[in-house]
Structure 1
Amino acid sequence: MIGKISRKFFEDNIINRIGAVRKDVAVPPRNGVDVGIIAINGSYMAVTTDPLYIDRSFGFKKAAWFAFHILASDLFTSGIKASYMSIDLNLPQEITDEQFNEIWNVIHGECEKYGIEVVTGHTARYAGVSFPMVGGVTLMGVGDRYITTENASPGDVIIMARSCGLEASIILAYTFPEYIKESLGSNTLNAIKDKFYTMTCVPEELMAIDYGIGERITSMHDATEGGLLNSVYEIGYASGNGVMVNYNSIIIDSDIAAVCSLFNINPLRSISEGTLLLTVKREYGNEFTEMLKKSGINASIIGEVTDKTGGMKLIKDGKESVINPEDDQLWGAVSGGVKRGLK
């Protein structure tokens, strides 16, 4: 497979070999959980790590913004705001000082905006390094409480914010703009490209933190690798529960649906940074959904967390199907497009 390793590979090859097991690690590496949690003197440190992903087709400024928000969107799912960054920059030899500064100025600006300080790192140019993976970043924050997908409970409603297939459609639009323009028209291409700065969950996560984590918002999870359905599955798996999702309530923007259809991929099974899933105590579900909408973020209650015996189910046209984890469909579409010589 291309992209993130499978749940089975993780469980067979990694999870039982994570070094010394410490009592102060409250949340170690787990499938479907975006962060690790360390208990420190009555407080909790949330930690997450990702590659520094710089896609040159976006342009360096947009790519750097996206790289930051991939990481921040994970960290904030803990209900803890980010405070510290450790960054390793393994740069290609051909990158110029001007290009580096385009990247670094954006990272500095976003860190400053959200109250984050870079506390350590490493920067170098190396032979054999190529875009888009040019290093790694760790983000940390400290708070007095936290949530993870393990905290979702039967009876909680599941809210999605923004359309599924968001990141996949944007990557395709920047990778194959001529093909999309010729096939779907310039209006669709421009509409997709205009969504670029919605590929973040941080605004919704900050709203959730202010609204109340634990007693109101029980978990948050961004719909990345494998798309919406993989992320719904991970909520059920991590919490030890079932899920029931109503297909007709899922948000799929028409322009995103058109691009995904053009490349024969399912928007529900394609990477979607910027799409946030939240589990919310039932009595607060409608209120928080309306809060998101009033802030300009489209949102919908798409289902609920159920007892484990209910399994992972998707209801479409009155028929139930089982939700299973699957490989993300975007990467095959991208490699296929490249082989076809699409521009």
Structure 2
Amino acid sequence: MIGKLDPEDLAMVVSRTGAQDDDVLVGPAYGEDAAAIRVGDRTLVVSSDPLSLAHERLGTLAVSVACNDVAASGADPRWLTNVVFLPDDDRETLDAVTGQIDDAATDLGVAVVGGHSEYAPDLSRPMVSMTCMGLADEFVPTGGAEPGDRLVLTKGAGIEGTAILATDFRDEVGSAAKRGESFFGEISVVEDARILREYATAMHDPTEGGVVTGLLEMAEAAGVRLEIARDDVPVREVTRVLCDTMGVDPLRIFGSGALIAVVPEDSVDEVLGELRDAGITGAEIGRVVDGDGELALDGEVISEPSGDDLYDLWE
């Protein structure tokens, strides 16, 4: 089995929270990718994420994915720690991965402040686990959606998945690989979040399982139903080409690079205008209604995560 724990196992994990601390404002919970900790009059936002499958840009993706979770919670990412595991004594790979981490963190203005590196012969591929921290004036949760709100998506579905398909499956996708590889430059949602956090009641960075899983996690965290139509979700042409070639659904592949935000209905036009002024594409993709933690996609009710379509390609 590859990927996230099923909801039952995850519930067991997040129930084990150690000592009580009144300064922990948001702790482990389904759908919440970051913790919120009171530090003086501000909030420290902390998130951790592992990455192992996108081997050509492992360090680049690891930095962006960790920073995205912090940004999607209303904070400016500032500090990173990284843990790097290598399957063998391969200095070339170590140099490549840590160089990617250094470059990506520098581009985002984030300092790498510590971590750990070691060789782990039982692994079949390198693995990086990043922890990102940042300060927020106001924490934005995953689970803040309320009936009547609207859903906004930046950039499009499957941005990260497109880049992975173009590199990990270069031979299979052929001439479209070069266009898809350029999507690595769009994985960060830090700027998207700086705009949306001024309006959003909830934000979420769709990673594993793509837009569908990201929306389901938001619905579950808020105890509402999210309703979307597939035709309203932006999917770029090269993403469609690569997904059709490999037989995967663009709404169900790694989705970093997009940001899902829940905003009041009367703010949608203003939000989309501000994104457009910043050179970021965005679209209204659906609405929030009364429900019990489910997603309705073209009327089909989804209440359980189904995993990421890319996993079958690696098996």
TM-score where L is the length of structure 2: 0.91
Whole-angstrom distance in 2 between the partners of 1:221 and 1:132: 27
Verify: 1:107 aligned to 2:101, yes or no: yes
Query: Counterpart of 1:334?
Result: 314
Structure 1 residue 54: deviation in Å?
Answer: 7.1
Aligned partner of 2:259 among 256, 273, 276: 276
Structure 1 residue 53: deviation in Å?
Answer: 3.9
Cα-to-partner distance string for 1:266-319 (whole Å, 9 max, x where unaligned): 11122211121111122211121132234333211001122236953223xxxx
Q: Within 5 A, what are the aligned runs for 1:118-197?
A: 118-133=112-127, 135-181=128-174, 186=175, 188-197=176-185
Cα-to-partner distance string for 1:45-97 (whole Å, 9 max, x where unaligned): 111011254743x2xxx43222210111111111011222222233343321x
Aligned partner of 1:307 among 280, 290, 293: 290
Structure 1 residue 99: deviation in Å?
Answer: 4.3
Whole-angstrom distance in 2 between the partners of 1:259 and 1:222: 22
Change (3 A) 1:298 1:144: closer
Task: Give the conservation status (yes or no) of the 8 Å contact 2:87–2:126.
Answer: no
DSSP-derived class of the 1:46 partner: strand
Point out where structure 1 has 5 or more consecutive residues left out of the alignment.
336-343
Whole-angstrom distance in 1 between the partners of 2:161 and 2:82: 26
Task: Give the conservation status (yes or no) of the 8 Å contact 2:162–2:183.
Answer: no
Query: Counterpart of 1:26?
Result: 25
Change (3 A) 1:108 1:191: closer
Whole-angstrom distance in 2 between the partners of 1:304 and 1:332: 31
TM-score where L is the length of structure 1: 0.84
Change (3 A) 1:54 1:15: closer
Matched length: 314
Query: Counterpart of 2:191?
Result: 203
Task: Give the conservation status (yes or no) of the 8 Å contact 1:265–1:333.
Answer: no
Task: Give the conservation status (yes or no) of the 8 Å contact 1:43–1:142.
Answer: yes
Aligned partner of 1:285 among 263, 268, 272: 268
DSSP-derived class of the 2:313 partner: helix
Query: Counterpart of 1:87?
Result: 82
Identity percentage over the alignment? 27
Task: Give the conservation status (yes or no) of the 8 Å contact 1:153–1:239.
Answer: yes
After TM superposition, where is structure 1 displaced by more than 6 Å over at least 4 residues in a row?
none
Q: Which residue identity is paired with 1:322?
A: V
Aligned partner of 2:72 among 68, 72, 77: 77
Query: Counterpart of 2:37?
Result: 38
Whole-angstrom distance in 1 between the partners of 2:161 and 2:30: 22
Change (3 A) 1:44 1:180: same
Query: Counterpart of 1:339?
Result: none
Whole-angstrom distance in 2 between the partners of 1:291 and 1:8: 40
Whole-angstrom distance in 1 between the partners of 2:314 and 2:122: 23
Task: Give the conservation status (yes or no) of the 8 Å contact 1:55–1:131.
Answer: no
Cα-to-partner distance string for 1:197-238 (whole Å, 9 max, x where unaligned): 1122222113334xx1xxx22221111111111111111111
Task: Give the conservation status (yes or no) of the 8 Å contact 1:313–1:322.
Answer: yes
Task: Give the conservation status (yes or no) of the 8 Å contact 1:54–1:64.
Answer: no
Quote the RMSD (CA, aligned, Å).
Answer: 2.2
Q: Which residue identity is paired with 1:10?
A: L
